[in-house]
């Protein structure tokens, strides 16, 4: 195998590892019952009042975000970003698999719920670091934020916050309308919004060192 092909293959292996880790992070957050991360709040709420599983709802949301990127950027849209579609299919499938894997874990106390929530936040943050380190494709959520930044010239940090808030508001509204109670959006959602990025940032430095060895060996 040529060096360039081997290098690319290993980058995709890093991405796949990150997707697996993130999927389990989502599953632990759901099991904790204190709210999921902003990006997972909408698929989770949809899964509660539709026949869709969390993973299938995640795929549907990502497909919608890909279409919105195309509508926003039009001729500026780069066809290579369509790789987000198979990545979304894999991630949604992995999420359902992770939810099934830990289905027998039971939690009763509030402290135990926070423990699972913390595990979920940690895993999502580590998974994001793997995704960033792989550097081959972004997930549709981040791709949507980048598309808005490119179309309207808004700064990434503010756009990311606005995107997360929008997802949480939509999830909350749907939850209240169809379930008559708030689901998927709680104190754990706030914690995830604050801490996932911090975890990813802390993991990025050792991940960069690991990736250099992994990609060059």
Q: What is the pLDDT of residues 42-82, one digit of tens each?
A: 999 999 999 999 999 999 999 999 999 999 999 888 888 88
Tell me the average pLDDT of the chain: 90
Evaluate if residue 213 carries a pLDDT over 60.
Answer: yes
Q: Do 111 and 185 touch, CB atoms closer than 8 A? A: no
pLDDT at 62: 96
pLDDT at 189: 93
pLDDT tens track for 78-91 = 888 889 999 999 99
Tokens representing residue 137 in the block: 């494709």
Residue 116: name the closest of 19, 22, 24, 48 by CA: 24
Residue 105's SS3 state is: coil
Q: Which residue has the tokens 């550097």?
A: 135
Taking residues 131-142, report their average pLDDT.
85
CA–CA separation, 49 vs 213, rounded Å? Answer: 46
pLDDT tens track for 148-162 = 999 999 998 899 999
Instruction: Label residue 17 exposed, middle or buried (CB < 10 Å: 0-12, 13-18, 19+).
Output: middle
Q: Which residues contact 143 (CB under 8 A, 6 or more apart)?
A: 65, 66, 69, 81, 84
Pick 114 or 14 by higher pLDDT: 114
CA distance between the termini of the chain: 13
Q: What angle do CA 131, 86, 173 make, to 5 degrees?
A: 80
């Amino acid at each position: 195998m040529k060096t360039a092909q081997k290098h690319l293959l290993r980058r995709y292996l890093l991405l796949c590892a990150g997707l697996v880790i993130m999927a389990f992070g989502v599953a632990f957050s759901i099991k904790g019952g204190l709210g999921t991360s902003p990006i997972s709040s909408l698929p989770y709420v949809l899964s509660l009042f539709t026949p869709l599983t969390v993973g299938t709802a995640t795929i549907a949301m990502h497909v919608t975000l890909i279409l919105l990127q195309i509508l926003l950027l039009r001729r500026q849209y780069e066809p290579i970003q369509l790789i987000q579609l198979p990545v979304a299919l894999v991630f949604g499938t992995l999420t359902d698999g992770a939810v099934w894997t830990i289905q027998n874990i039971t939690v009763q106390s509030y402290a135990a719920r926070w423990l699972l929530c913390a595990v979920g936040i940690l895993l999502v943050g580590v998974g994001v670091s793997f995704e960033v380190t792989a550097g081959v494709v972004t997930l549709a959520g981040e791709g949507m934020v980048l598309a808005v930044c490119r179309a309207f010239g808004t700064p990434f940090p503010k756009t990311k916050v606005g995107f997360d808030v929008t997802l949480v508001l939509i999830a909350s509204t749907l939850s209240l309308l169809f379930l008559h109670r708030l689901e998927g959006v709680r104190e754990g959602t706030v914690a995830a919004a604050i801490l996932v990025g911090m975890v990813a940032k802390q993991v990025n430095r050792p991940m960069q060192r690991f990736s250099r060895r992994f990609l060059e060996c």
